[in-house]
Structure 1
Amino acid sequence: MKRYKVNMVKPASLKTVSVLITGFHGYGAVGYLATRYTVSKLSMELVGFIETPMVVDFTSIEDYGFSKPHEIFMKQLDNIGVVALLNRVNPDRRFMVSYIKAFVNVVKMLNVEEVFLIGGLDVRFRENKEEFRWLKTKWSKRSLDAPYFMKGAYIVGPLASLLLALEEHGIPALAIFPYTEPESIDHRAAASAIRVVSSILNIYIDISELVSYAEKIEEMEKLIQSMQLQQSAEKKESVMHT
């Protein structure tokens, strides 16, 4: 039977309370970017992966060898254990039930006490100057000084599926949604999410590289827009003198 299943490649145990961080390629690819950056900056160790039901047709070369679609990383910090599930691609919708079961198995196997989900929120929903919105399962005792997620607005994709599963299984979970342009790859929003999560967990993750990269992209976009406006003006002037 084709299904997702957990495959641990190293013994995995944490000495303290542990949390899990994950996200997907949704709006702005915020969840994926934030998770990948966290794995890199905390020098997390690959301890396993969620095996896919179908043969994959892509990989990349990493420090530990060939990458896989859904990798499990771990890091023991002084005051907390951090687990990260890096989803290089979104799970196959045809096998979403088995992916959710595998995810819950990871949470239970590694004694994760709280899950942090990271997504992106369409910037058109912004009402004031807030940086992000958030929500939680009823099992979470967290409360953040930021607007809660809007009533009636839909959360879609694998993050929504995980939220429902975590609620059903009685697992405390908090979801962070920085505002982003839906069609962009938003490093600044990813930095915002990391800043929020690291503050909650009282850990340090240097986000300067993400912010710097975002600034360079913004500068390039402004330059391109300026060039396009200049070309448009030159064409208009050329037509007027024809």
Structure 2
Amino acid sequence: MKHDLEFVELQKCSLNGYTLIEGFPGMGLVGTIAAKYIVEKLNFEYVGYADSDIFMPVIRIHDGMPVRPCRIYACRERKIAVLISEQVISRQFTHMVAKKTAQWIDGKGICELISLSGVQASSNSERETIYAIASNESSKGLIKKYGLSEIGEGITTGITALILLELRNSKAKAISILANVQLAADYKASAEVIRKLNEMLGLNLNVEPLLQEARETEKQLIAQLQKLRDTKDDTERFEAKNPPLVT
């Protein structure tokens, strides 16, 4: 069975020349936490979503209504868009999702991509350091421009890494910024990412409410991800006990 990912626009919104903030779940859930905080605190407009049969049938409820797991928000005044996913992309679908996302970015004329992610902290003294990876040589200029610490050698994984790879030959400049993480859902790291985005994009976001709400939000996100894992485990156990009939 062939799987696909479709970007659906709820309203016409030209993203030509926009900066896109990408927040897929990764290490420390930094991308999801920070992106969700940005769209809520700055009142971004909900303009579309990504639809696919690869998403698990576990949907978050907000204000009494179901919320799509992968959504697109935009702020016309700032020319900033946000792509946020609240579901982890299964490994077998990461290449497809990365390719489709890169094609959508190019098709919409987005000029800059800033992916939000995390990296394992090596020491407490480096907790506030924000690292960066660029998709190509021209994108490295963003690392210098914003005073980020370039990761010269190493290994990166996941959907964010593959999106950068897919954008190597794109006109869009693309970087991933990574905060040091120490927890499964690291709100301190997410706050550090937002502080850096304040410098980069002039968001002027106060991160103190994020830190104050961290404990409760952490419980909600971990519970949601646990439900996804439990659903997947239950499905696998059922399939193991009830193999398909072959005639």
TM-score (norm: length of structure 1):
0.77
Listed as ranges, the matches of 1:212-227 within 5 Å are 212-214=212-214
Q: What's 1:228 paired with?
A: none
2:70 & 2:24 partners in 1: Cα distance? Answer: 10
1:132 & 1:208 partners in 2: Cα distance? Answer: 19
Aligned-residue identity in percent: 21
Q: Where does the alignment leave 5 or more consecutive residues of structure 1 unmatched?
A: 218-242
Amino acid at match of 1:196: K
2:9 & 2:45 partners in 1: Cα distance? Answer: 12
2:148 & 2:3 partners in 1: Cα distance? Answer: 42
1:13 to partner: Cα distance: 2.3
1:102 to partner: Cα distance: 2.5
Q: What's 2:176 paired with?
A: 175
Listed as ranges, the matches of 1:23-172 within 5 Å are 23-54=23-54, 56-62=56-62, 65-77=65-77, 80-124=78-122, 130-137=128-135, 138-140=137-139, 141-142=141-142, 143=144, 144-151=146-153, 153-172=154-173
Q: What's 1:189 paired with?
A: 189
1:119 & 1:162 partners in 2: Cα distance? Answer: 12
Per the alignment, in what secondary structure is the counterpart of residue 188 of structure 1? helix
When Rg is computed on C-alpha atoms for both structures, the one with the higher figure is 1
Closer/same/farther in 2, CA of residues 128 and 32 from structure 1, 3 Å limit? closer
Could you tell which deviates more after superposition, 195-204 or 47-56? 47-56
Give the length in aligned residue pairs: 212
Closer/same/farther in 2, CA of residues 128 and 198 from structure 1, 3 Å limit? closer
1:131 to partner: Cα distance: 2.0
Closer/same/farther in 2, CA of residues 74 and 109 from structure 1, 3 Å limit? farther
2:134 & 2:188 partners in 1: Cα distance? Answer: 23
Q: What's 1:224 paired with?
A: none
1:100 & 1:134 partners in 2: Cα distance? Answer: 19
Q: Is the 8 A contact 2:54 2:93 kept in 1?
A: no
- Deviating above 4 A after TM superposition, structure 1's stretches of 4 or more consecutive aligned residues are 125-130, 214-217
1:34 to partner: Cα distance: 0.7
Q: Is the 8 A contact 2:30 2:186 kept in 1?
A: yes
Per the alignment, in what secondary structure is the counterpart of residue 167 of structure 1? coil
Q: Where does the alignment leave 5 or more consecutive residues of structure 2 unmatched?
A: 218-247
1:128 to partner: Cα distance: 5.0
Q: What's 2:229 paired with?
A: none
**Deviation string for 1:71-100 (max 9, x for gaps)?**
1111122xx311111111122332333312
TM-score (norm: length of structure 2):
0.76
Per the alignment, in what secondary structure is the counterpart of residue 138 of structure 2? coil
Listed as ranges, the matches of 1:198-213 within 5 Å are 198-213=198-213
Q: CA-atom RMSD, angstroms?
A: 2.6
1:24 to partner: Cα distance: 2.4
Per the alignment, in what secondary structure is the counterpart of residue 150 of structure 2? coil
1:45 & 1:63 partners in 2: Cα distance? Answer: 16
Per the alignment, in what secondary structure is the counterpart of residue 198 of structure 1? helix
Closer/same/farther in 2, CA of residues 155 and 126 from structure 1, 3 Å limit? farther
